[in-house]
Amino acid sequence: MSTRIPLYQVDAFSKALFAGNPAAVCPTETWLADDVMQNLAAENNLSETAFVVPDALGEADYGLRWFTPKLEVDLCGHATLATAWVLFNERGVDKDVLTFSTQKVGVLTVSRGEDGLISMDFPASKPTPALHPDALVHILGGPALDYGRAPNGMMLAVVGSADILQNLRPNFGAVMQLGGHGLIVTAKGDAGSGLDFVSRFFAPQIGVNEDPVTGAAHTVLTPYWARRLKKDSLCARQISARGGDVFCRLVGDRVHIAGHGVLFMKAEACLPGA
């Protein structure tokens, strides 16, 4: 006999398949054992797998946890969007605002708007200036225009143009030397592109060399570019090979991060059990 676990795969931050960032979502009635969740995430081999259960403590509608193939992480934006998409569109949830209790970042609120746009309310992670480490030059091929570290453990480097960013081929061993939870590299959007900024995110430290679209990185990027550009509402694109569009708004010490999602797959994971 096996235990069958619902399994969905959603391309987050995209309206079209084969773009954005794919995340797996496993909704269950109670938490699976930690080692089972980690094994499922490793088997899925996506940058993140989300596990969601009804919140037993009544602090929120659901409890939510995120695992990479290697470890559990404190916050994952695209897998949160994917989870909300599944609940709204596949699991019969008939309201437009959901709350999620988390292990490390409190209660998150996610809402569904017009045209299926899903907006997530996350704590901002404002970067502070830091000394440029020697490894950064080897990663970027030259000095960064600006460099900082954020409370969420991510590092932020600014380069001179979207073209420089697009052509960047980082040495992931050098990225590992930076420590932390990953490196965001960003540039101002080109004139006429309709984009305020573009970015890429590298996190070999957590088993993800390059993440296609990273919601959590935009909790760092939004306060940075809001200050630089003197505007609170920003249009962004993560220019990985898959790419994805992110709509950001700074609201006090919170960041609203919004995007679309599209279902790629629904299935069942068959686990040994009673």
Q: Enumerate the active-site residues.
A: 48
Per-residue three-class SS string for the chain: CEEEEEEEEEEECCCCCCCCEEEEEEECCCCCCHHHHHHHHHHHCCCCEEEEEECCCCCCCEEEEEECCCCEECCCHHHHHHHHHHHHHCCCCCCCEEEEECCCCCEEEEEECHHHCEEEEEECCCCEECCCCHHHHHHHCCCCCEEEECCCCCEEEECCCHHHHHCCCCCHHHHHHCCCCCEEEEEECCCCCCCCEEEEEEEHHHCEEEECCCCCCHHHHHHHHHHHHCCCEEEEEECCCCCEEEEEEEECCEEEEEECEEEEEEEEEEEECC
